[in-house]
Amino acid sequence: MLVDQIISNHLVEGTAKAGEIVTVSVDRIYIQDGNSPTIARLFAEHQINQVSDPDRIAVFFDHSVIWPNVDIANRIRVSFGLQY
């Protein structure tokens, strides 16, 4: 299967078997707008202020593409450190 090949090609160590937990290197990390406030809070709680490879991180907006009100606009602004 394609998924098995992808996982095998990204294994940090060992072999992948169904039902096993594995560690893999990732090509890209996606953050969805609805989860961004939680991620921002966790980063703050754990005093994380940078990521190891910013070029591998992408954000996509699918819940609040056009912010319907000031509260959601501020929530997104704060999560991503945006200024407007």
Count of beta carbons in the 10 Å neighbourhood of residue 43: 14
Q: pLDDT tens, 17-60?
A: 888 899 999 899 888 877 878 888 899 999 998 888 888 988 88
Find the domain containing 41 and state its range. 2-80
Average pLDDT value for residue range 53-80:
79
Write phi, then psi, for 3 (nearest 5 degrees). -60, -40
Do 28 and 56 contact (CB within 8 A), yes or no? yes
Average pLDDT value for residue range 6-14:
92
Do 80 and 59 contact (CB within 8 A), yes or no? yes
Q: In the structure, what pLDDT confidence band is assigned to residue 64 with cuts at 50, 70 and 90?
A: low
The tally of domains found in the chain comes to 1
Among 12-21, 59-68, 70-79, name the one with the lowest average pLDDT: 59-68
What is the Cα–Cα distance from 4 to 17, expressed in whole angstroms?
9
Asked whether the predicted pLDDT for residue 12 surpasses 90, the reply is yes
As a whole number of Å, the end-to-end CA separation of the chain is 47
